[in-house]
Structure 1
Amino acid sequence: MTAAVLNITNGDRALETLQDAGVTGEWLPWRDILHEGPVPAGLSLTELSACRARFIAERHWSTPEQVQADFAERDALLAGCGRFDAVRLWFEHDLYDQLQLLQVLDALAERLPANTALTLLCADEYLGEGRDGMRPRFEALEAPVSRAQIQLAQRAWRAFREPDPEAWVHLLDEDTTALPYLDGTVRRVLEEYPQPGTGLSRTAYHALSLIAQGENRFSPLFAEYQKTEDRRFLGDLGFHWLLDTLAQGDAALLATAGPQPPVIDPRQTYELTDHGRAVMAGRASAYPLLVDGRWIGGVELRPERFWEWDPAAGLLIPRSVTTATG
């Protein structure tokens, strides 16, 4: 009798690649960009899925009907994981995948029967790129998920969802070797907090730097930005949303050639505003633009309550626009 296997991975591109490579079983693509938007504490999986669905629909990344149906199907399949003989987790090393892995391990810890085998296949390469030999390289690393990995994932997932980022920072003081890519994940999340002086996140800083150097069309700009990441994680939708944010309001850092459409136009062009040039030169700050209602996990940044990350000192500093600019 053939064993019933559930394969969980990061999304449709990886799913298609693995299916093309001959991996069999049922499939659960996680399909959530957890490094973008609210991931608040105190919600069940169903409640959090509803919160995430609203956010994704509001950003025009999917229709409300489609994203709600996707999450309902996903959660129902996860709830029924006990009917499988084995669950295999196929994930990459980057921020996008590692946050998904934390959520999946936390959810399975409460739902997976003891007699269902749970294994992790995780490597420092990208499943969706479909390079020759990808499947055997991942399968060579397949190992049972240990209790230590589940406990660490649960602590990290709770910390990511806290309304205060201190618990997330404290993960840097822990032994996180049970999940070898977690330390890099923690640090990359922290780099999305405003930086001292400019008020820019790491992603925003690199995007503006590339535009200042003359790379002003969306498609080549996104391609060049990807080269700034050791572990590429940001998709074109998230990058487009960031550029849209930077082009908003009286304190905009970017000007666009015509209105910024809700969907990606690869021909759209960008240039720094006078304020954007002042921020990049260290003469002004982007704090007012980038901390009003922005979420990082469970932390909602507000002008009266936000944090900045000093990567050189390794410190997370509580700030406000008043203290940051005054």
Structure 2
Amino acid sequence: MFLHILNGDATRSIFQNSGIGGDVIVWREMLCEGRTPATRNMSRFFEERAAFLQQAYGIDSAAYLAEVEQDKELLQNASGYDEIVLWFEFDLFCQVNLVFVLYYLSQLSVKLPPVSIVQLDQHPDVPNFRGLGMLQPHHLPPLFEARTYIREEDWQLARAAWEAYSADDPLALEELSRRPGHQLPYLGQALQAHLQRLPNATNGLNAVEHFFLDRLALGKLRERDLYYQFWNELKIYGFGDFQLDIYTNRLQQAGVVTRESEMLSITGLGEEILNREENYLSFVSSKNIWIGGIPLDQTPWRWDDEEGKVVHS
């Protein structure tokens, strides 16, 4: 009997029609978004995470914890399965969830069966592939047959990556992003994308904010069209509407973007920030804004584009 862990609902209906047997967990967390408490106590982790999600985003903490409890019950019975199969994608959204699931499994006080993984960054039948949810049911069995198995070095890398992701010092994570991935070949690039969410050393914009202002500097755009450009060009993030709305709202609150109906435009201040005449951090509130274990309103860390690395400001 297989236990399949799917990263998101987009894959579920396709999987259910694929003919692949086994029990299913749909992992709905968005661990790339917001605070990830640095603790090895998993009950405490979920309680603190739930409190943050409710405070920051209005996500009901009781409903969140109830869903987590259902998943935990299945995972606690992991030793009763012949194999656990993880279905994840190449982007930051998926890779953060993936290393957490591996970390969580490694913390269970049960004997684990073999753990395998299905992951890909392209598919010959799907131009501009962005995720498993774009596939058809008949695509999944061949991917299942080609799955790879997590080895000890992968467990070690996943554990180290999760603990570094949840820490407030990004240097360990940067070092891990340069390590060979073995059966986690997409992790390094995803972690690099994560580090580029730190404020830029020159103007305070991170990679997502810089992308938005760059495109709006060419002319006003419908919000949806701006998002489609992001999804096509920065697939590495894997963000949905929820994450992108957070960014556009912050840009508006800082006065660098204005909205008229569905249209977004860059302001004069936004152009000055793009031209490095002003710093975004002087105008945007970073209160209660976290990326993993890093609170942006307190961190001295910046991303340096010229050096291609994290620097201390």
Q: For residue 159 of structure 1, what is the aligned residue in structure 2?
A: 164
Q: Which moved more, 1:66-75 or 1:56-65?
A: 56-65
1:223-257 superposed Cα distances (whole Å, 9 cap, x missing partner): 11112214350111100011111111xx4212223
Q: For residue 126 of structure 2, what is the aligned residue in structure 1?
A: none
Q: For residue 71 of structure 1, what is the aligned residue in structure 2?
A: 68
Shift of 1:315: 2.5
1:179-219 superposed Cα distances (whole Å, 9 cap, x missing partner): 21111012111111111222111111111222222343221
Superposition pairs of residues 211-230 of structure 1, within 5 angstroms: 211-230=216-235
Q: For residue 309 of structure 2, what is the aligned residue in structure 1?
A: 315
In the alignment, structure 1 segments of 5+ residues that lack a partner are: 258-266, 320-326
TM-score by length of 1: 0.85
Distance 1:132 1:14, change over 3 A: closer
1:94-152 superposed Cα distances (whole Å, 9 cap, x missing partner): 11111111011111113274462321111114211124742134224312221111111
Shift of 1:60: 4.4
2:266 is equivalent to residue 272 of structure 1:
yes
**In 2, are the aligned partners of 1:91 and 1:97 still within 8 Å (CA)?**
yes
Paired letter, 2:271: R
2:240 is equivalent to residue 235 of structure 1:
yes
Superposition pairs of residues 229-308 of structure 1, within 5 angstroms: 229-248=234-253, 251-257=254-260, 268-288=262-282, 289=284, 291-303=286-298, 305-308=299-302
Distance 1:285 1:161, change over 3 A: same
Paired letter, 2:289: R
Distance 1:7 1:226, change over 3 A: same
2:212 is equivalent to residue 207 of structure 1:
yes
Superposition pairs of residues 1-326 of structure 1, within 5 angstroms: 4-60=1-57, 62-111=59-108, 113-114=110-111, 116-125=113-122, 126-131=131-136, 133-248=138-253, 251-257=254-260, 268-288=262-282, 289=284, 291-303=286-298, 305-319=299-313
Q: For residue 323 of structure 1, what is the aligned residue in structure 2?
A: none
**Matches of 2:25 and 2:107 in 1, distance apart?**
18
**In 2, are the aligned partners of 1:40 and 1:299 still within 8 Å (CA)?**
no
**Matches of 2:14 and 2:109 in 1, distance apart?**
26
1:27-84 superposed Cα distances (whole Å, 9 cap, x missing partner): 1111111121001212522222223323333454744443232222222222222222
Distance 1:115 1:166, change over 3 A: closer
**In 1, are the aligned partners of 2:32 and 2:97 still within 8 Å (CA)?**
no
How much identity, in percent, do the aligned residues show? 25
1:262-302 superposed Cα distances (whole Å, 9 cap, x missing partner): xxxxx633222221121122211102326444211111122
Question: What is the RMSD of the two structures over their aligned residues, measured on CA atoms?
Answer: 2.2
**In 1, are the aligned partners of 2:195 and 2:303 still within 8 Å (CA)?**
yes
**In 2, are the aligned partners of 1:57 and 1:67 still within 8 Å (CA)?**
no
SS at 1:122's partner residue? Answer: strand
**Matches of 2:113 and 2:41 in 1, distance apart?**
23
Q: How many residues in Structure 1 have an aligned counterpart in Structure 2? A: 304
In the alignment, structure 2 segments of 5+ residues that lack a partner are: 123-130
Distance 1:52 1:20, change over 3 A: farther
